[in-house]
Amino acid sequence: MIEFIKQPWPWYVAGPLIGLTVPALLILGNKSFGISSSLRHICASCVPAGIPFFKYDWKKEVWNLFFVFGIFLGGAIAVNLLANPNPVEVNPKLATELAGYGITNYNNLVPEDILNWQSLFTLKGFLMIVVGGFLVGFGTRYAGGCTSGHAIMGLSTLQWPSLVATICFMVGGFIVANLILPLILSL
């Protein structure tokens, strides 16, 4: 049984399991799925300043903090107890393309050749880590939620803003992956 859990699950198993969180949250507590709002709840609980954005009853949303903690805990358990000792399999064409940018160490989920403490102080690392992180956070706030909230919860409840946001996420991802990222990696 443990060997079955350690293997990557096919999309037709993992996808429906993720999708079933939507009706489960709606039926069990009339709650909507989303991860990015948890940062707002943490700030509202910890920041005593009178910032209007954080003035709301965050205790009604404490379930979301437990949900996010469960995701973190599940990830920690998976990495420490269920890790696959084999290297990450990368398509040979992608491996060749990555090698052209000097990325050869991708045995972990994070390419250590570009995302490490030393590269943070280079232009490439700063753009990838700091500027990229800021843009993800800004985009999440501007879109009123993250990809999981819009693409999983919003689309399943037929919300027009979530369709627009998801389309924009996908278009932005294609543009960055195919046009902007190669420019950054070639620095």
| pLDDT tens digits, one per residue of 64-121 | 889 889 989 998 988 888 877 777 778 899 889 888 888 887 766 678 777 888 888 9
Radius of gyration of the chain (CA): 19
CB 111 within 8 A of CB 105: yes
Does the reported pTM lie above 0.85? no
At 63 the pLDDT is: 87
- pLDDT tier at 131 (50, 70, 90 boundaries)? very high
Question: What span, in angstroms and rounded, lies between the C-alpha atoms of 137 and 148?
Answer: 14
3-state class of 26 per DSSP?
helix
Going by C-alpha positions, the residue among 128, 152, 184 that lies closest to residue 26 is 152
Question: What span, in angstroms and rounded, lies between the C-alpha atoms of 178 and 170?
Answer: 12
